Amino acid sequence: MAPIIQAENISKKYLIGHQVRESYSTLRDRIGNMCRSFGRNQKGHYGEEFWALKDISFEINQGESVGIIGRNGAGKSTLLKILSRITAPTSGRVTLKGRVASLLEVGTGFHPELTGRENIFLNGAILGMLKADIRKKFDEIVAFSEVEKFLDTPVKRYSSGMYVRLAFAVAAHLEPEILLVDEVLAVGDIQFQKKCLGRMDDVSRQGRTVLFVSHNMGAIRSLCARGILLDNGSIKCAGDTFKVVAEYENQAIIASDAVWINSSEIEKNETMYIEKIEIVDENGVLKNTFFNSENVYLKYTLHVRQSHPDLKVGFDLVKSNATVFRSQQVDSVRRVGTIPEGVHRLICKVPAFLLNAGDYAVVPIMSIHCIRTLINDWTPVLRVRINIDPSGSDFHVILDDRNHPGGVFPMLDWELT
């Protein structure tokens, strides 16, 4: 099957600055232009080039729902504008097969002087639909948008929420082959957002293609089977939504968020203290977003000035203000004994397929058993997010605590006899 959307080496360049216009300029303009000419290039521009997109290539088949994610300025909206033919790429080519409805900004495609009723027919005509076909969908569009009372009012008098409701209703109900939706849904209230997500899911199930840009990772996970992560105008990764979202969440974590450095002089006592705790993966890379199929490692840097046989170092793992479990080095299967004087690396492995999906807090513990507590501030210093790996087991349908409650999600040994 040929793809319904095909992007080949798309790039888009903008010039940060202004273009100097020599004709019809006043004396004031000419003086200003002379002052600015020191930073102007040969084409009459001054400023610098900015590449919003750089060599973007991908294919999307009919009926797919694809989430486009990335940080602000990554190029998501620029990509949708090119796909919508609002702007042309600087280089590259886009091939689209079918009618495209886009919702990129509040009131995209609406004429402000026309009424809501007139704009419904205008948008349908732009999509190439016959007036009779638009009439068949008219009542459904009005009911979904909930603006019946203001249907014959010019849309320039609509609030932003009314604009969005009507614009989305038109885009989603006039049966385009391709539906492009930007973060504009964030303008609506929560109830409306849920309604829109349900409608986009219906559109996808009907065999139409949906491209959805959002910072709501829950919505991306539930609606889209595939994801594309943009970073600085390029595709960082693409594929299964869960893995792409996990990569984005991990990318969004600053390295210091996976490291706790003990800056409290009170806790740096004369006997022993924790210098820092790091959360790393199998390769020692700092991160705090994992699949449940991955091992999680907590790496301590420990200073021991005076050794003691009853020293306990560990942590409480907390979820929703409840302790999931406590672990200390004395509980280890390796039988970690007395820690001698010096600087040591103490590593705890939290095995794969133990934790349930969700957010966890790490509370450090350090004490000399039954004698003295060496860390008195019982507050979380690090956080870990666990996502269910959809490709690692048959548990891909378990997305949150409503389906599988509790802090742990162990892979136990079951046998049928």
Q: How do residues 253-308 score in pLDDT, each as one tens digit?
A: 554 578 888 765 445 566 788 888 999 999 998 888 898 889 999 999 988 888 88
- For the chain, percent of residues with pLDDT exceeding 70: 80
Predicted pLDDT at 7: 93
Map residue 177 onto helix, strand or coil.
coil
Percent of the chain exceeding pLDDT 90 equals: 18
Confidence at residue 228, expressed as pLDDT on a 0 to 100 scale: 94
- Higher-pLDDT residue of 297 and 184 is 297
309-335 tens-digit pLDDT:
888 888 989 887 788 999 988 888 777
Residue with tokens 């891909």: 396
Name the pLDDT band for 92 (thresholds 50, 70, 90). very high
Q: How far apart are CA 313 and CA 324, in angstroms?
A: 17
**What pLDDT is attached to residue 391?**
63
Mean pLDDT over each residue of the chain, to the nearest integer: 80
Q: By mean pLDDT, which of 39-53, 111-125, 236-250, 381-395 is the weakest?
A: 39-53
Residue with tokens 């990764």: 237
217-231, 241-255, 256-270 — which one is most confidently predicted on average? 217-231
* Average pLDDT estimate for 95-120: 81
What are 8-45's pLDDT values in tens digits?
999 998 876 555 444 455 666 666 666 655 555 544 54
Confidence check: pLDDT of 66 > 80:
yes
CATH architecture, domain defined by 5-251: 3-Layer(aba) Sandwich (3.40)
Top pLDDT among 383 and 103 is at 383
Task: Give, for 278, the enclosing helix (H) or strand (E).
Answer: strand 272-280
- Closest to 95 measured CA to CA, from 78, 77, 82: 82
Nearest Cα to Cα of residue 260 among 275, 272, 238, 277: 277
Of 25, 95, 102, the closest CA to residue 58 belongs to 95
Residue 85 has pLDDT above 90, yes or no: no
User: Does residue 129 surpass a pLDDT of 90?
Assistant: no
Give the per-residue pLDDT at 182: 81
Q: 276 or 219: whose pLDDT is higher?
A: 276
Reduced 3-state DSSP string for 209-227: EEEEECCCHHHHHHHCCEE
Pairwise CA distance, residues 183 & 274, whole Å: 44
Residues paired with 16 in a beta bridge: 48
Mean pLDDT of 50-55: 90
pLDDT of residue 190: 66
Residue 68 confidence class, pLDDT cut points 50, 70, 90:
very high
Residue 41, number of CB atoms within 10 A of its CB? 12
Query: What's residue 25's pLDDT?
Result: 53
Give the separation between CA 366 and CA 312, rounded to whole angstroms.
6
Of 137-146, 285-294, 384-393, the range with the lowest mean pLDDT is: 384-393
Name the least confident of 32-41, 99-108, 362-371, 406-415.
32-41
Domain ranges of the chain: 5-251, 255-387
For position 86, what pLDDT does the model report?
84
Look at residue 280 in the predicted model and tell me its pLDDT: 93
CATH class of 255-387: mainly beta
Highest mean pLDDT among 191-205, 253-267, 292-306, 372-386 belongs to 292-306
What pLDDT shows up at residue 265? 46
Which tokens is 316 given?
Answer: 């409480």
| pLDDT at residue number 411 | 77
